[in-house]
Structure 1
Amino acid sequence: MVNPSVLGFALDWFGIRVNKALYTFSYMCATAGAAGVFFVAIYVMVDVLGYKHAVAALDWIGKHSLMIYVLVACNMLPFLLQGLYWM
């Protein structure tokens, strides 16, 4: 089985461009393959090797995703991250 990202970059090599604005077949293959590789890497790191502390931030983001969405939509997250500047 060929990894979709390899297929996407091979299509790009032969002239079918990876273009986000058009959502071409090569773009879908490249992004699906990259997501699959990332998922497998996280799976191996957490479930096989037992490095649960390495992805603790991702666990927190997953549990509080609605709060993060609301803070970003209200432009409060940049304010909280950068702090308040008086001058």
Structure 2
Amino acid sequence: MRSSVRVKEKRAIAACAARLVESGQTLFLDAGSTTSILSERLSGLSGLTVITNSLNVASNMTEREEQRSWATGPCSLAANSIQIRQRPSVM
């Protein structure tokens, strides 16, 4: 699994990227093991808006009430919880 490969390097990248983000900014975090680690580091910033297509990132960002998170795709965020919507079946 990619989340257990080169963890030290991913944490270093996440730490560097987190220093570039300031409270009140809006950013998009794509799905990935490095962005998941980054979202853990960003959970301490207030006033941050995060748009993501990653369930892991969305989960990390819902832990703080001072942040706004928007999830794309089959999951949505409501009241600091994640809801999974089923896609309509295609015939």
What's the TM-score, normalizing by structure 2? 0.30
Of structures 1 and 2, the larger Rg is shown by 1
Q: Which has the higher contact order (CA 8 A, sep 6+)?
A: 2
What's the TM-score, normalizing by structure 1? 0.31
Q: Which has the higher strand share?
A: 2
Q: Which has the higher helix share?
A: 1
